[in-house]
Amino acid sequence: MPRSLEIEMNSFPIAGTFTISRGAKTSAEVITCVLTENGRRGWGECVPYRRYGETMESVAAQIEAARPLIEQGISTEDLLRAMPPGAARNAVDCAIWDLEAKLGGQGVAERLGLASPQPLTTAYTISLGEPEVMAAQAREHSARTLLKVKVGTGDDESRIRAVREAAPDSIIMLDANEGWPEETLTHHLRISAEMKIALVEQPLPAGKDEMLACIERPILVCADESVHHTGDLASLRDRYDAINIKLDKTGGLTEALGMKREAQRLGFQIMLGCMVGTSLAMAPAVLLAQDAEFVDLDGALLLARDREPGLRYTASLVFPPEKELWG
């Protein structure tokens, strides 16, 4: 039978509210691309992101426009040229990887040369809020090895200090989501270093981050919104020490593999990150993250309801996906 495509729109409630510097959300709105061929099903998930001009409708329309190529059996390499980076290509690319693994009888891990992928220490995200609220969240999760703390206001010193006091033994990363004003940047970096923060992510807005090349950086600074695909890397070497690879930005696992290799060649440290989505969105990234310095794949942990079956999370670890989920 020929390959067929289904496009599904799904909503998964978040446990509570997830807040960053740009706003809050109470559900993860995702698009699932399902490919079927010869009785086998492959699937991939993406999270449309308004920060990049994406909506559920626009991403579904992108996938629909590519339907003829997808159902003709386009390869993941050809897909790179047929669709632009972003959420739509991610869902299609990951679905092709999954389907071809099932048709070929060789898992994605094996195709990537990962004979025995290992569980990874993943961050757990603390939402942006008042210092005492964030401290309470951090204290609740202080047994975790790695915390990612959302910041991004003009005065985050009290938040940084409160979270560090509440979780004295955790490795802490900060994510400013482009929210620090230039005039407070050096102050916040100094406080972060004093509080033994491991890394700060995207402190300045994308396209307005030249200042990072002109100041001393006492801790690692990681690009997120400033980096989407391999072509972005070379121009960021003077201002960032690490990059956050997210499949919804790169447009799938295929581009992310090449981007990771080039980033490592250029000397960047690697973070594997995610949007707030289900275990299906996290699964390909867990395989890609096997040798990353930082792993932030807790999207499914933030949900009140996940896919069944989902990824296995135990304490601070996320385990590689079972074949029933993906790959």
| Radius of gyration, alpha carbons of the chain | 19
The pLDDT of residue 23 is 81
Written as one string, the DSSP assignment of 251-305 is TSHHHHHHHHHHHHHTT-EEEE---S--HHHHHHHHHHTTT-SEE---GGGGBSS
pLDDT value for 18: 87
Instruction: Give catalytic residue positions.
Output: 150, 246
How many Cβ atoms from other residues are within 10 Å of residue 259's Cβ?
25
* Token pair recorded at residue 46: 């993406």
What backbone torsions phi and psi does residue 281 show, to the nearest 5 degrees? -75, -30
Could you tell me where in the chain the CATH 3.20.20.120 domains are found?
Answer: 120-318
Are 141 and 126 within 8 A, CB to CB? yes
Confidence (pLDDT) at 128: 96
pTM of the model: 0.96
Q: Are 181 and 209 within 8 A, CB to CB?
A: no
Give 10-residue mean pLDDT values along the chain (327 residues). Answer: 94 90 88 97 97 96 98 98 98 98 96 93 97 97 98 96 98 97 97 98 97 97 97 97 98 98 98 98 98 97 97 97 97
- CATH code 1.20.1250.20 for 120-318: no
Task: Please list the residue range(s) of the chain that carry CATH number 3.30.390.10.
Answer: 4-111
Distances (CA, A) of 223 to 76, 180, 206: 26, 14, 9
pLDDT at 16: 85
- Alpha helices by DSSP H, listed for the chain, are 56-65, 67-71, 76-82, 87-104, 108-111, 131-140, 157-166, 182-194, 247-250, 253-265, 279-288
Per CATH, the architecture of 4-111 is what?
Answer: 2-Layer Sandwich (3.30)
